[in-house]
Chain A
Amino acid sequence: MSESSTNSFASIGVIRGPLLLRLRRTVRLGVKSLWLHKLRSLLTALGIVFGVCSVIAMLAIGEGASYAAQEEIKTLGSQNIILRSVKPPEEQKVSEKGSQSYVLQYGLTYLDIQRIRSTIPGVTVVVPGRIMREYVWNISRRVDSEIMGTVPWYPEMRNHHVARGRFFSDKEMEDKANVCVLGAGMVKGLFPLESPLGKDVRVGGDYYEVIGVMEPAGKGATTEETGDNAKAAAERMFIPLETAKTRYGEILRKVRSGSFEQERVQLHEVTVKVATPEQVIPVADAIKEVMERNHKKKDYDIIVPLELLKRAERTKEIFNIVLGSIAAISLIVGGIGIMNIMLASVTERTREIGIRRALGAKRRDIITQFLVETVMLSGAGGVIGVLLGVTIPWFVSHFAGMKTIITFWSPVVAFTISGIVGVVFGIYPAMRAAQMDPVEALRHE
């Protein structure tokens, strides 16, 4: 008998409206309670606001920066290995003593290319280059330029293409023709008004016909590792390697404050293309070995864009981990702030809890009420945080000129986490509220 009567009471509790409808009323009640202490609610949510906003903004800026860096590295070609001649530091000292008869010899040689080609499998194309610093003239206009003697397949290999006109051909290379392709940055200085195509420029005593203009490289490489920069790439003039060999010979003369400096450098730059991306690292190691065996001094430098790319990716990963930890910490701090306020609120509203319990509220009704309040608080913080977090990168890219990328998942994840923080840090205060003895709660002043 008592069994059945208990059931009849239990059924009283079961007569409940649809869950969503009840939740809507609970949410409205929560809004009312939070609105009662507007400033306090705002300040409490602020912790979450800053957490979410900083995560999104920092991720966007970091993503933008790493994207830019990766793009730059990609333009060097991920299947390429670049070798450069470097003047060894000890030689520099000798040369500064300045003996006219002394010819400094260093750097990459044609023999190196032959060795690499013949001994290392997987190497498909090799692009050699000689670089000379000279003035380039158009009648009375002058541009300080790097003249690069190279091969016809340079543009394709280095991802640096001709914008107007064409690059020189195999035949012109063979014929040692006096043709040149100007860097984008040179055009303004030499031909400010007219099209340079078909015109002649003068370098020293020789005239070259302009057959093309490169696209503004920029991308060339602005990373420190490549020791190059966009400006230099834009100021580069290209001539056939064979032409360069005959016009300049092997020895370069530099006049420096009255004394001569003579250098013998066969090749300044060699780009090696590898058949598949998987082979890049082994081939690079093999090249390193070959070079080490044949060069006593370290008068060369090997740049592997793929390695740079991988390093950039790893850096980004570390950056993300650091960022994630900062985000986690700030969200936890925000959550603790919310929990603190909710505990105070539960104590302050002890009497209300007692009244509600007396009027028929079950423990879980009280839990729901306080949990919904906490989640709303952190959720509102999350929404404001997302809005701010999306706006700040826009300002950064607009006013500081930095590239920013907001990935789709960063606001979603940040907002979700703010909701989870609300639940996690809301449960304890809600349980405290529900565990109160109704008699004690009603007596509370």
Chain B
Amino acid sequence: MPTQIVQFDQVCKFYQMGLVTVEALRGVSFDIHAGEYVSIMGPSGCGKSTLLNLLGCLDRPTSGQYRLGGDDVSQMNDDTLSAVRGARLGFIFQSYNLIQQLTVVENIEVPLYYQGRPEEESRALAARYAERVGLGNRLTHKPFELSGGQQQRVAIARALVNDPLVILADEPTGNLDSISGVEILKIFDDLHEQGKTIILVTHDENVSRHARRSIRLRDGEVESDVRL
């Protein structure tokens, strides 16, 4: 497996809004290597969300090539993309996005469930990851019984449980108070130290400072790409 986990080559994404074509991304190219901790920054409307959707295999580029772990995912069909997401990506959202009717451990299990892993195995694995984010004693709680920081930690455990190539985090501290935010960023730092590849989308300079590399977007193009 090449060390470039993410390879973006002249990726464009256009949306048709009525008669107007919105050019959200206009030829974006960059590589991300294994173990990198990258932040993607930029003002609103710069194409951050579009880029994140493409990185997360939730959407396909209009043109250009996106290779994830060496495989071209830009033209894959819907089912294969689902499999790719389940096996190679971990998502962390601003609003946690936990499933309300499931318990902590069941939420962490969801990616394994769609990979068809045996129930006992995935349950044990999910419990172990809950332990790792410090929620070992909250396994059977429902999301609404947890604080924002705890919910985001459940989401992190869920993003780790399938041992993904890349962890995608979208404003992970956006809904949290500063203390919880710091806690979450500490976990990210630990993960980076363990060699995980992390892509963090944010508009907060303080958050972005935790990353070791910063890609700035402006008007659908890469404005700067600096290592810190």
Binding site for B on A (CB under 8 A): 2, 5-6, 8-10, 12-13, 15-17, 21-22, 25, 32-33, 35-36, 351-352, 354-365, 438-439, 442
Q: Please, how many angstroms separate the alpha-carbon atoms of A33 and B76 in the complex? A: 32
Among A13, A35, A364, contact of B83 (Cβ-Cβ < 8 Å): A13
Asked if A25 meets B113 with Cβ closer than 8 Å, knowing A32-B101, A355-B97, the reply is yes
Q: How far is the CB of A437 from chain B (nearest CB, A)?
A: 8
Among B59, B84, B93, B101, contact of A9 (Cβ-Cβ < 8 Å): B84
**From DSSP, what is the main secondary structure of chain A's interface residues?**
helix
Q: Please, how many angstroms separate the alpha-carbon atoms of A10 and B87 in the complex? A: 11
Among B58, B59, B83, B98, contact of A12 (Cβ-Cβ < 8 Å): B83
Q: Please, how many angstroms separate the alpha-carbon atoms of A21 and B113 in the complex? A: 11
Is B76 a contact of A9 with CB atoms below 8 Å? yes
Q: Please, how many angstroms separate the alpha-carbon atoms of A371 and B117 in the complex? A: 22
List B contacts of A25 (CB < 8 A). Answer: 113, 119
List A contacts of B53 (CB < 8 A). Answer: 439
Which residue in chain B gives the minimum CB-CB distance to A35? B101
Which residue in chain B gives the minimum CB-CB distance to A434? B78
Binding site for A on B (CB under 8 A): 53, 56, 58-59, 70-72, 76, 78-80, 82-87, 91, 93, 97-102, 110-111, 113-119, 158, 162
**Besides A36-B100, A355-B99, A363-B78, 4 other CB < 8 A contacts?**
A12-B86, A15-B115, A358-B85, A442-B93
Identify 24 residue pairs between A and B in the complex whose beta-carbon atoms are under 8 Å apart, listed by A's number.
A6-B71, A6-B76, A9-B71, A9-B80, A9-B83, A9-B87, A10-B80, A12-B87, A13-B83, A17-B119, A21-B119, A36-B100, A36-B101, A351-B97, A354-B97, A359-B86, A359-B91, A359-B158, A360-B85, A360-B86, A361-B114, A362-B114, A363-B82, A442-B93
Q: Please, how many angstroms separate the alpha-carbon atoms of A32 and B76 in the complex? A: 33
Q: How far is the CB of B27 from chain A (nearest CB, A)?
A: 21
List A contacts of B97 (CB < 8 A). Answer: 351, 354-355, 358, 442
Interface centre among A358, A359, A363 (most CB of B within 10 A): A359
Is A358 a contact of B80 with CB atoms below 8 Å? no
Is A17 a contact of B118 with CB atoms below 8 Å? yes
Q: Please, how many angstroms separate the alpha-carbon atoms of A356 and B83 in the complex? A: 12
Q: Please, how many angstroms separate the alpha-carbon atoms of A17 and B120 in the complex? A: 12
Interface centre among A13, A21, A357 (most CB of B within 10 A): A13
Which residue in chain B gives the minimum CB-CB distance to A32? B101
Is B58 a contact of A442 with CB atoms below 8 Å? yes
List B contacts of A32 (CB < 8 A). Answer: 101-102
Asked if A359 meets B110 with Cβ closer than 8 Å, knowing A9-B84, A351-B97, A439-B58, the reply is yes
Q: How far is the CB of B32 from chain A (nearest CB, A)?
A: 19
| Total of A-B residue pairs, C-beta within 8 Å | 102
List A contacts of B119 (CB < 8 A). Answer: 17, 21, 25
Among A5, A12, A21, A351, contact of B115 (Cβ-Cβ < 8 Å): A12
Asked if A8 meets B71 with Cβ closer than 8 Å, knowing A15-B116, A17-B116, A358-B58, the reply is yes
Is B83 a contact of A362 with CB atoms below 8 Å? yes
List A contacts of B70 (CB < 8 A). Answer: 5
Is A10 a contact of B83 with CB atoms below 8 Å? yes
Q: How far is the CB of B221 from chain A (nearest CB, A)?
A: 21
Q: Please, how many angstroms separate the alpha-carbon atoms of A35 and B100 in the complex? A: 12
Q: Please, how many angstroms separate the alpha-carbon atoms of A352 and B85 in the complex? A: 16
List B contacts of A21 (CB < 8 A). Answer: 118-119
Ranked nearest first, the 7 interchain pairs of A and B with the lowest CB-CB distance are A360-B86, A16-B116, A360-B114, A5-B71, A12-B83, A13-B83, A362-B82
Is B114 a contact of A365 with CB atoms below 8 Å? yes
List B contacts of A365 (CB < 8 A). Answer: 82, 114
Which residue in chain B gives the minimum CB-CB distance to A21? B119
Is B79 a contact of A363 with CB atoms below 8 Å? yes
Q: How far is the CB of A442 from chain B (nearest CB, A)?
A: 7
Q: Please, how many angstroms separate the alpha-carbon atoms of A442 and B98 in the complex? A: 11
Among B58, B78, B114, B115, contact of A356 (Cβ-Cβ < 8 Å): B114
List B contacts of A351 (CB < 8 A). Answer: 97
Is A5 a contact of B85 with CB atoms below 8 Å? no
List B contacts of A360 (CB < 8 A). Answer: 82-83, 85-87, 111, 114-115, 162
